[in-house]
Structure formats: C-alpha cells, structure tokens
Copies of this chain bind each other. A is one copy, B any other.
Amino acid sequence: MGLATADEYRGSLRDGRTLWYQGRRIPDILAEPDLRVAVDHAALDYAVGHDPRYRDLAVAKDPASGAEFSAFYAIPRCSDDLLCRSRLIETVTGLGGTMVTLVKEIGSDALFGLLRVLEGEQRERVFAFYEHCRDGDLSVAVAQTDVKGDRSLPPHAQADPDLYVHVVEERSDGIVVRGAKCHTSIAANAHEIVVLPTRAMGADDADYAVAFAVPVDTPGLSLYVSAYGAREHDAFEFPISSKHKMLETLTVFDDVFVPWERVFLCREPELAGPVALAFVEFHRFTAVSYKLPLLDALVGTASLITEMNGVSTAGHIREKLTQLVVYAETVRALTEMAAIRAEVGQHGIASPDPLTTNLAKYTFATRYHAALELVQDCAGGLLVTGPGGADWANPEVRTVLEKFYAAKAPAEDRLRLLNTISDLTTRDLGGYHAVLAVHAEGSIEAEKMQIFRAYEPGRAVAYARQLAGLDDHI
C-alpha cells in the first residue's frame, strides 16, 4: 500500500473499536476533542514521510522490490541503522513538542525483539505480521504491563485469575484470552495491538506466558482511555499540551479470540522472560532517543528564561545551567554510544548495547526530578502565579500584564516562555513526563537490575586480584 498520509491514518481509525472515555462510549475517536488532539499528534509519524525535510530520515526502501516503507519499520542491521533510527525518533518527538508519537516506534520495537529472540514457526508468524504492518504502514501498540493485582504474588496466585492476561482456551483455529493490561500507550489510536508477557514466569504461570497480536477493533477488546490530563487547554496557557497528547488505556480482553497465525507465544513460560526482555532492550533505546527533545527543552527554556529575567550572568545561574547541560549531554552521549556499541545478533538484527542503553535510561530517570528543580529555580515563581489565556485575551487586562511582566524581554515573550515551562514541568503534562521518567519502559529498579546483569565483571575482578597479588602468592 505504500506510505499512508496523515489523513489516511486519521480516517482509518473510524472502525468498530470499543473505546470508553470520561465514562462514555466513544463512537468516533475523531469527534472527541481530547482524543482528536492525540490522533493529530500521532499523525506526525505519517506526516514526516511526506515532508521533504524529513523524507530521507523517515522513508526506507526495500532493496529488492524498490518499495518504499516507513523507516520506523527498517530492521536495524548495524550501528548506523540504530543511529538513524534514534535520530528519526528524536526528530519526530521534537516536532511533537517533547511528546513521543510512538504509533510506529513501539510496535517496531516489539517486532524487532520478537524477531530476534524467537525461532521456527513462531518467528515466521511474527515475520508475516511484521510484513503486514510494514506494508500496510500500520500503527501498532504494545500491551505489556498487566494490571498485576497484589504485586507480592505471581500471576497464578492472584485472588482473581484475570489480573494477568492469560489463555483460557486453546481451539483448533486459535486461542481465547482474558484479562487486562494497563498503561497501554496509543492503543486507542493504533491499528493493531501486540500483547507481550510482562515478566519472567515459572511453570505454574504457563497460562500467562502468552504473546499475540490483534486488531484494535477485535470483538471482546475494550479500551478505557485514561482521564488524566483531560481539560480544556487554552493555547496561551498550555503551549504544548494544547497540541500534543498521548492516550493511555486500560486494555481489557474479555474472551478475545486470536487465530493461530497471530499467536507468537502460548504457554511457554521459559520464553516469557526472554520475550519481555527482547522488547525492552529495543524499547529503552527508543526511550532514551525520544527523551532527547525533552532534555533540550529543559536546557533551552532554562537558558532563555534566565536571559529574559536578566539573571543569566549570575554565578549560581551559570552553575544551574551547567548542571542541566551535564545531565542532558550525558544522556545524549550514552544514547549515541549505545548505538555505536551495537552488536549484531540472531538473524542479523543489530540491537543497542544493553549496558549503555540502561546507563542512559538510568541517568535520565534518576536525575529528571533534580533537573525540574533547576529549571523551576531558573524560571521563578511566576510559573504558578501568572495570568491565564482569558486574561491575555482581554485588552484591558493585557495592557496591565504587558506593563508589569516586561523584563529584559517583552512581557508576551516572557509569559509565553513561562507558560511553556509551566506546561512542561508543573501541570498535567509536567507530571506525566515526570512519572514516565520514573516508570515508563521499565522502572528505575528494572534499569539497575539490567545494568548489574549486563555488566561483565571479569576485567575489573581480574584487575582487583592482580593488584592484591592473589594469583601470585599461591
């Protein structure tokens, strides 16, 4: 079918999907203003393929057929491929006002992971589905995190067996699954959902070791879109979130049928962990790539507001800006290095170096809140005491604001920038970014665990033994 346009993407979402929002069934996602913002935002993943400024980065060509397809679906074969993928993700997120678009990113992460870790017929099914998505230029969500119930118990020991998605029936033509996933990003405006297990599993959890893909309008599948961030967003007050939004859903599988050709894993608990991890390794690299515009936004807004406030030469401001640069550029360098250190593994697929990827993600996650403090410190209290869009719209009030909020820059520039910082750091979007920093694509604990596992201690321990002369004295 070739590269879809943004409008084709929008139109294709009008199907029979079961969406709930704000307590209401939503018959048409495009007609619901909040959801429409998210659709328009996601459409960037399509628009870049038709924009001459980004085509080189955004469009890949099949060497055999010459067919063009979205570069998001280009399987990475070397470091340079990963660097290009990273740059593409960074670019589109930049256009998305620090918000990742994700509709092609996350699905391809999952597919690359599955293609890398599975073998035989399972891999063939994944590959066929991969071609379906690539050739149809589809949007693909990934539902991984189960609702989990009591986290001190494994899936099979929960009071309610449905707290992790599980197989309830195997039929000749497919399987039937039940349960719910949460924090499912962009499912409401995707075409397909890939479902993956959320963790390593034991033999008792075999029913829960299941991976598959279904179209979003599959019967029995219901999406409950989160109300978080729902409100009217005046464009003056909310320069970013009035235009950019990502939808999160509670994704309920109420005896959903999945045909065998879409089943990638069924009751093989020993593969649950590897499948989960293979996705995560790609997805954390996507994560650190899409965090780069957010980091630039923190550095850039902090730098600019200190000039507008007339404090940019103060020693302590210099110190704070330097700390922000250290933070942002360390994450950037580690992200780039994760691609440079890529290793080409099974089936010739290159994946980013896990140690370096997790160092990048961990660095991002554990210093994000400190960076918010620095940005807010640079910006000043007006972040939460300033005027709103209706004030600015009233000429009588605006005259007062223009007089009294002028600084080294005109009041309008300063207020617009302050609102941008407020949107980014103190309001719903700010909280969303902050919680995502800590939890998305794996928690801080998960990243530490991966760093510990991915680190090869041989060199350092051998050196310690040598320094201590432990091998000499024997």
A412 beta carbon closer than 8 Å to chain B:
yes
Please give me the residue from chain B that is nearest to A464 by CB atom: B300
Q: Is A326 an interface residue (CB 8 A)?
A: yes
State in angstroms the CA–CA spacing of A443 and B372 once bound together. Answer: 15
- Tell me, rounded to whole Å, the shortest Cβ–Cβ distance linking A452 to chain B: 5
Please report the C-alpha to C-alpha distance between residue A20 and residue B336 in the assembled complex, in whole angstroms.
Answer: 50
Kindly provide the distance from the CB of A411 to the nearest chain B CB, expressed in whole angstroms: 10
B435:A22 contact, CB within 8 angstroms: no
A316 to B445, CA, bound (A): 8
With beta carbons under 8 angstroms apart, the residue of B388, B393, B405, B420 that contacts A467 is B420
Chain A 226-259 interface mask (CB, 8 Å, partner B; 1/0):
1111111000010110000000111010000000
Residues of B within 8 A of A431 (CB): 383-384, 422, 425-427, 430-431
B contact residues around A11 at 8 Å (CB): none
- Please report which residues of chain A, range 416-453, place their CB below 8 angstroms from some CB of chain B when the two chains form the complex: 416-417, 419-420, 422, 424-428, 430-432, 434-436, 438-440, 443-445, 448, 451-452
Residues of B within 8 A of A419 (CB): 468
Assembled-state Cα–Cα distance A397/B376 (Å): 38
* Contact between chains at B455 and A329 (CB < 8 Å): yes
User: Known: A416-B473, A431-B427, A469-B416. Contact between A460 and B296, CB under 8 A?
Assistant: yes
Contacts of A111 in B (CB 8 A): none
In angstroms, how far is the closest chain B Cβ from the Cβ of A158?
9
A182 within 8 Å of B (CB atoms): yes
B147, B328, B330, B373: which contacts A368 (Cβ < 8 A)?
B373
- A151 x B436 contact (CB < 8 A): no
Interface digits, A352-383 against B, CB 8 Å rule (1 contact, 0 not)?
Answer: 00011001001100101110110011001111
The minimal Cβ–Cβ distance linking A448 to chain B, given in whole angstroms, is 5
B406 adjacent to A160 (CB under 8 Å): yes
Interface contact B227-A391, CB-CB below 8 Å: yes
A11 to chain B, nearest CB (A): 27
Of residues 1 through 41 on chain A, the ones whose CB sits less than 8 Å from some CB of chain B are 20, 22-24
A470 within 8 A of B: yes
> What CA separation (Å) do A311 and B383 show in the bound complex?
36
Residue in B325, B373, B467 whose beta carbon sits within 8 Å of that of A452 in the complex: B325
Q: Is the CB of A359 within 8 A of B387?
A: no
Specify the main secondary structure of chain A where it touches its partner: helix
Residues from chain B with a CB closer than 8 A to the CB of A401 are 224, 250
Which residues of the other chain, B, contact A318 by a CB distance below 8 angstroms? 452
Task: Mark out the residues of chain A between 330 and 352 whose CB falls within 8 Å of any chain B CB in the assembled complex.
Answer: 330, 333-334, 336-337, 340
Contacting pair A227 B389 (CB below 8 A): yes
Task: Report whether B384 and A226 are in contact in the complex, using a CB–CB cutoff of 8 Å.
Answer: yes
Residues of B within 8 A of A462 (CB): 300
Residue of B nearest to A378 (CB): B438
Residues of B within 8 A of A389 (CB): 227
CB of A66 within 8 A of chain B?
A: no
CA distance A467 to B444 in the complex (A): 28
Please name all residues of chain B whose beta carbon is closer than 8 Å to the beta carbon of A366 when the two chains form the complex: 373
A293 CB within 8 Å of chain B: yes
Is A86 in the interface zone, CB < 8 Å from B? no
Among A51-59, A212-220, A301-309, the stretch in contact with B: A301-309
Which of A301, A313, A369, A435 has the most C-beta atoms of chain B within 10 angstroms of its own C-beta? A435
Known: A180-B404, A390-B227, A452-B318. A435 touches B248 (CB 8 A): no
The answer to whether B390 and A23 touch across the interface, beta carbons within 8 angstroms, is yes
Please report the C-alpha to C-alpha distance between residue A315 and residue B449 in the assembled complex, in whole angstroms.
11
A172 located at the interface, meaning its Cβ lies under 8 Å from any Cβ of chain B in the complex? no
**Interface digits, A137-164 against B, CB 8 Å rule (1 contact, 0 not)?**
0000000010111111100000110110
Residues of B within 8 A of A381 (CB): 145, 182-183, 435-436, 439-440
Q: Which residues of B contact A440 (CB under 8 A)?
A: 381
Name the distance in Å between A175's Cβ and chain B's nearest Cβ.
21
User: A interface vs B, CB < 8 Å?
Assistant: 20, 22-24, 94, 97-98, 145, 147-153, 159-160, 162-163, 180, 182-183, 222, 224, 226-232, 237, 239-240, 248-250, 252, 293, 296-297, 299-301, 303-304, 309-311, 313, 315-316, 318-319, 321-322, 325-326, 328-330, 333-334, 336-337, 340, 355-356, 359, 362-363, 366, 368-370, 372-373, 376-377, 380-394, 397, 400-401, 403-408, 412-413, 416-417, 419-420, 422, 424-428, 430-432, 434-436, 438-440, 443-445, 448, 451-452, 455, 457, 459-465, 467-470, 473
